[in-house]
Amino acid sequence: MKVNRLVCGVLLSVYLASGGPAAADEREVTLKHQGLTLLGTVSTPAKARDDKPWIVLVHGTLAHKDMSTIKQMATALNDKGFSTLAVSLSLGVDSRKGMYDCQVPHRHRFGDASGEIAAWLAYLRGDGARNIWLLGHSRGGAQVAYTLANEGKMDLRGTILMAPATDAVATAAAAYRKQHGAAADKAIEAARAEGDKSEKLIAVPGLLLCQGGQASARSILSYYDEKPPHETQASLTRVTSLPVLVIAAQKDEVVRDVADKIGKVAAAQPNVKVETVADSDHMFQDLFADAAADLIADYIDQQKK
């Protein structure tokens, strides 16, 4: 199913004519985890749905809870009666705000997100939430899928993956080499020599979105050499009973062919469904956030039937 621009325009006209929904109540929250303070934002709608659903939102590569995509998705979901908890992954930094500071040595690993996601879910359950869904965008989608593959259902009702990263580690390493040439090969080789448990810092030509700097051997290997691969479709083959909605962006130039790649998983697993937001790019801005929220609300309603 695709949601087109014309439909979005009609929805916006109706929305503006009605005056729009009442603003959600928003508050900052913190959580202690493994010696670090994690930051989150709780947003509760003026009128919640009767089943009081919660959606936990996880951002993409080196980003944060206040990035535009996450903020807009939270607002769009609040407008539909969902309470949201947007979280910033620490990436090894205490009380991290904003984009990751590339001058800080990289000690974080891809799989570190799993423990923090589990901690936030426990936080919500401790506060009385029971109807919880988990949403990840971009690399955050791949990390959510990886978490579910390794941690199980985690007392969730289901999960939503928006434009999740689908490249295998081998592909990521190839892109790393293409961007940085021999320097990338040397960084990976140096990390392999130290081993995947080593915290020794190595000078790198870059890591993920950062240029230059230092990274621990275990950090380099977690993103560019870890086995088994942590691509989304590989993880989803191990998530067979939890409802999974994957939302692709038709004009995504960052993560390409999401619908085709995840569609192959969905063909074999009835718990996985793939939808596409027409004309949207990777970030699901403005009306496309509303279109994605429509798909999410419809999917969650279907699970109650």
One pLDDT digit (tens) per residue for the chain, 305 residues: 454 544 444 444 444 444 455 578 999 999 999 999 999 999 999 898 999 999 999 999 999 999 999 999 999 999 999 999 999 999 999 999 999 999 999 999 999 999 999 999 999 999 999 999 999 999 999 999 999 999 877 899 999 999 999 987 777 888 888 888 889 999 999 999 999 999 999 999 999 999 999 999 999 999 988 766 688 999 999 999 999 999 999 999 999 899 999 999 999 999 999 999 999 999 999 999 999 999 999 999 999 87
Q: Do residues 130 and 154 make contact, with C-beta atoms less than 8 angstroms apart?
A: no
Q: Spell out the domains of the chain, with CATH numbers in brackets.
A: 2-168+229-303 (3.40.50.1820), 169-227 (no CATH)
- 178: tokens are 């293409």
Measure the CA angle with vertex 76, ends 80 and 156; round to 5°.
70
User: What is the C-alpha R_g of the chain?
Assistant: 19
Cα 169 from Cα 110, distance rounded (Å)? 11
**Nearby residues of 93 by Cβ (< 8 Å), 6 or more positions away:** 36, 100, 101, 104
